[in-house]
Amino acid sequence: ENNSVCGGFGSAILELINFLNLQKAPSVLPLGLPDSFVNHGDAGKLFSSFGLDPQSIAEQICRKFNSISSINLETETTNPGSL
């Protein structure tokens, strides 16, 4: 049930928007695992294979909301002592 699109948090928000008949509801992008058997393994690799890693999520958000066409989420480590 963790991270499932069907019956997940995004579905609940969409149901609430429909129930309240909101005319100016914000756009919702439900993200999660498919409603099917998911093999077991390393969580990071599994999330990545379903487009749920940080880079893929950011790209899906940008596509959905026609934002920046491409972004790079590479993290940089900064030495606090060098500031």
The DSSP result for 25-65, as a single string, is PPP-----B-SS----S-HHHHHHHTT-SHHHHHHHHHHHT
pTM of the model: 0.66
pLDDT at 72 (0 to 100): 60
Of residues 83 and 20, more confidence is placed in 20
Across the range 38-62, mean pLDDT stands at 92
pLDDT at 68 (0 to 100): 52
pLDDT at 73 (0 to 100): 62
Closest C-alpha to 52, from 5, 17, 1:
5
Across the range 22-45, mean pLDDT stands at 88
